[in-house]
C-alpha cells in the first residue's frame, strides 16, 4: 500500500469513535465520521445498539435487529408521509413556481410516491409491474450490450492513459443501462446524473437551503423531461417484456394502471435508484482494491487461473457481494412503527421512527468473521446492502450483473491501474461513494 492509498479511509481512535457515538446526531455529523463511520458503528453495536437519538428516533446497528424490522412489514412502515411532510412540504417549495399540480413540494411528491417509500398495496402493485420487466431472462439478454458498453468505456480510458474512475467509468454504466430499460434516447441522457445526485442528496438527514432548492428544481426538470418521453411512448409503445416504461404505462392485464403521478415519479425513482447505488458499488470496489493490495492480487490470480467462464463468474460474484458488504452503497434505511412493539427485547412505542444502519449491520462480528477486513473469498455472505424482505431491492440481479462485468473487465484490461490523486468522497451519510478518483492505467 502506497502513501496515497493509505490515506483514503483514515483511521479513527477508539476514544474518538466513542465520543462521536455518544453525541451522534445525523443532522450534525462531523467530517471524520463521514470519512470513516465504521469505528463509530462498532462502538454503537457494543454499547448502544438501540441508540436513542436527539430527535427521539432510534438508531439500530445490529444485523439481527435490522432483519427483525425488515421482516415485519405490517408493523414497520416504509411510508414517509409523516416524516417527509415537515422536511420537504413547506414554503416556498409547496408554492409557485416550485409546487406541483397537486400543490406539493416536488421533493415531497416524488419521495412519497416512489416504490421504496410505500407500503402495500401501492408498493406491491408498482413492484409487480417493474419486476415483470426485470426477469432473469430479460437481465441475461442485457449482458452482451453491457459488455459492449463497458469495453467502449475501457477503450476510451486506454486511449488517454487513464481518467477518473467515477466520471469516466463507474457512473457512465448504470445511466446507460437504466436509460436502456426506459428506452431514453441517448442524446437526452446527459442531465440524468446531475438530477439523480441532487434528488438523492436531498434524502440526507440535514439539508442546506441551496441543496433543498436544487433537489426541488431537479425533480421539476426531471418531470418535464419525462412527460414528453411518456407522451411519445403512449403513441409508440415498445415491448413491455423489456421496456419498463411501456410496462408501467400499460399496467396489468386487469387494467390496474398507475396514475400519472405514480407513473412519472416511479420513472424518476428507477433512474435514481439504479444509478447512484451501482455507481457507488463499482467505484467503491475499484478504490477498495487500491487500499487492499493483497486482496486485489488474490482476485486477479483467481480470475486468471479460473478453469472456465463459470468459475470466473463465481469468483466475481463472491467479490461483488463482499464489496457490497464492506462498503455498502446505501448505508441507512428508515421505518416507522405503526403500533407498540418489540424488537429483540427492545420496547418501541407506536409512531417510533427507526434508522436502520445497513453499514453497521454489514460489519456485525456476530454474523461475519473478521468483518473489518475485506475478504473477496468470503462465502455465505448475508449482507443487507439490498435490504431484506418485501422491500428488498427490485434491481439486485441487474446491479450484481453490472458489478461483475464492470469490475471483472476493468481488472482484466488494466491490472496495474493506480490512483494518481486522493479520491474525493461524496461526503454523505446515507449514500457512501466517491465523486472523483483520478487514476492511471500504467
One-letter-per-residue 3-state SS of 326-369: HCCCECEEEEEECCCEEECCEEECCCCEEEEEHHHHCCCCCCCC
**What is the predicted pLDDT for the residue at 5?**
65
DSSP string covering 362-420, please?
A: TT-TTTSSSTTS--TT--S----TT--GGGS-TTHHHHHHHHHHHHHHHHHH-TT-EE-
**What is the predicted pLDDT for the residue at 334?**
97
Nearest 5°: the CA angle 195, 335, 217 is 20
Name the DSSP letter for residue 167. I
**What is the predicted pLDDT for the residue at 242?**
78
**What is the predicted pLDDT for the residue at 3?**
61
Kindly list the distances between the CA atom of residue 76 and the CA atoms of 87, 273, 342, 356, 391, in Å, as whole numbers in the listed order.
20, 22, 11, 11, 11
Q: Assign residue 82 the CATH number of its domain.
A: 1.10.630.10
| Buried-exposed string 210-227: b where 16+ CB fall within 10 A, e elsewhere | eebbbbbbbbbebbebbe
**What is the predicted pLDDT for the residue at 257?**
77
Pick left, alpha or beta for residue 162 (phi over 0 → left; psi -120 to 50 → alpha; otherwise beta): left
Chain-centre distance for alpha carbon 171: 12
Cell reading at 217: 428544481
**What is the predicted pLDDT for the residue at 1?**
55
For residue 172, say if its preceding peptide bond is cis, omega within 30 degrees of 0.
no
Per the structure, the complete domain to which residue 109 belongs is given by: 3-440
User: Into how many domains does the chain fold?
Assistant: 1
Cell reading at 103: 400543490
Number of H-type helices and E-type strands within the chain: 18, 12
Cell reading at 170: 463507474
Name the DSSP letter for residue 70. H
Distance CA 291, CA 133 (A): 38
Cβ 358 vs Cβ 66: under 8 Å = yes
- Strand 353-357 with 58-60, pairing: parallel
Nearest 10 degrees: CA dihedral of 341, 345, 346, 349? Answer: 20
Nearest 10 degrees: CA dihedral of 7, 9, 15, 21? Answer: 150
**What is the predicted pLDDT for the residue at 60?**
98
Nearest to 113 by CA among 218, 270, 261, 276: 261
Helices 172-181, 260-291: crossing angle, 10 deg rounding: 150
Distance CA 225, CA 148 (A): 27
- Tens of pLDDT, residue by residue, the chain (442 residues): 566 666 799 999 999 999 999 999 999 999 999 999 999 999 999 999 999 999 999 999 999 999 999 999 999 999 999 999 999 999 999 999 999 999 999 999 999 999 999 999 889 988 888 888 788 888 888 899 999 999 999 999 999 999 999 999 999 999 899 888 888 888 888 888 899 889 999 999 889 999 999 999 999 999 999 999 999 999 999 888 878 888 888 886 556 678 899 889 988 988 887 888 999 999 999 999 999 999 999 999 999 999 999 999 999 999 999 999 999 999 999 999 999 999 999 999 999 999 999 999 999 999 999 999 999 999 999 999 999 999 999 899 999 999 999 999 999 999 999 999 999 999 999 999 999 999 999 8
Amino acid at each position: 500500500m502506497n502513501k496515497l492509498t493509505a490515506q483514503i479511509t483514515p483511521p479513527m481512535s477508539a476514544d474518538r469513535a466513542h465520543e462521536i457515538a455518544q453525541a451522534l446526531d445525523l443532522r450534525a455529523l462531523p467530517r471524520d465520521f463521514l470519512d470513516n463511520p465504521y469505528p463509530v458503528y462498532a462502538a454503537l453495536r457494543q454499547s448502544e445498539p438501540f441508540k436513542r437519538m436527539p430527535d427521539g428516533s432510534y438508531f439500530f446497528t445490529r444485523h439481527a435487529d435490522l432483519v427483525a424490522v425488515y421482516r415485519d412489514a405490517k408493523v414497520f412502515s416504509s411510508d414517509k408521509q409523516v416524516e417527509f411532510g415537515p422536511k420537504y412540504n413547506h414554503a416556498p417549495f409547496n408554492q409557485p413556481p416550485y409546487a406541483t399540480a397537486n400543490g406539493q413540494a416536488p421533493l415531497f411528491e416524488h419521495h412519497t410516491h416512489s416504490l421504496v417509500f410505500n407500503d402495500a398495496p401501492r408498493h406491491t402493485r408498482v413492484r409487480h409491474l417493474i419486476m415483470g420487466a426485470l426477469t432473469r431472462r430479460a437481465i441475461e439478454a442485457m449482458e452482451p450490450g453491457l459488455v459492449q458498453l463497458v469495453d467502449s468505456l475501457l477503450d476510451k480510458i486506454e486511449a488517454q492513459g487513464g481518467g477518473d474512475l467515477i466520471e469516466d467509468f463507474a457512473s457512465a454504466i448504470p445511466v446507460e443501462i437504466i436509460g436502456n430499460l426506459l428506452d431514453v434516447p441517448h442524446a437526452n441522457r446527459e442531465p440524468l446524473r446531475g438530477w439523480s445526485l441532487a434528488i438523492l442528496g436531498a434524502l440526507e438527514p440535514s439539508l442546506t437551503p441551496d441543496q433543498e432548492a436544487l433537489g426541488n428544481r431537479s425533480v421539476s426538470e426531471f418531470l418535464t423531461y419525462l412527460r414528453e418521453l411518456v407522451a411519445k411512448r403512449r403513441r409508440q409503445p415498445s415491448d413491455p417484456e423489456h421496456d419498463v416504461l411501456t410496462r408501467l404505462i400499460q399496467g396489468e392485464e386487469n387494467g390496474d394502471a398507475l396514475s400519472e403521478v405514480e407513473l412519472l415519479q416511479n420513472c424518476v425513482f428507477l433512474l435514481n435508484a439504479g444509478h447512484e447505488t451501482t455507481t457507488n458499488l463499482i467505484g467503491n470496489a475499484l478504490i477498495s482494491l487500491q487500499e487492499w493490495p493483497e486482496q486485489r492480487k488474490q482476485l486477479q490470480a483467481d480470475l486468471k487461473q479460473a478453469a472456465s467462464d463459470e468459475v470466473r463468474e463465481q469468483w466475481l460474484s463472491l467479490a461483488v457481494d463482499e464489496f457490497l458488504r464492506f462498503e455498502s452503497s446505501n448505508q441507512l434505511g428508515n421505518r416507522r412503527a405503526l403500533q407498540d412493539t418489540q424488537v429483540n427485547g427492545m420496547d418501541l412505542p407506536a409512531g417510533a421512527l427507526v434508522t436502520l444502519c445497513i453499514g453497521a449491520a454489514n460489519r456485525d462480528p456476530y454474523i461475519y468473521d473478521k468483518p473489518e477486513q475485506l475478504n473477496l473469498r468470503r462465502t455465505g455472505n448475508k449482507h443487507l446492502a439490498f435490504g431484506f424482505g418485501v422491500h428488498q431491492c427490485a434491481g439486485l440481479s441487474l446491479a450484481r450483473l453490472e458489478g461483475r462485468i464492470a469490475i471483472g473487465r476493468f481488472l482484466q484490461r488494466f491490472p496495474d491501474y493506480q490512483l494518481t490523486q486522493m479520491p474525493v468522497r461524496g461526503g454523505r451519510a446515507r449514500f457512501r461513494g466517491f465523486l472523483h478518483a483520478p487514476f492511471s492505467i500504467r
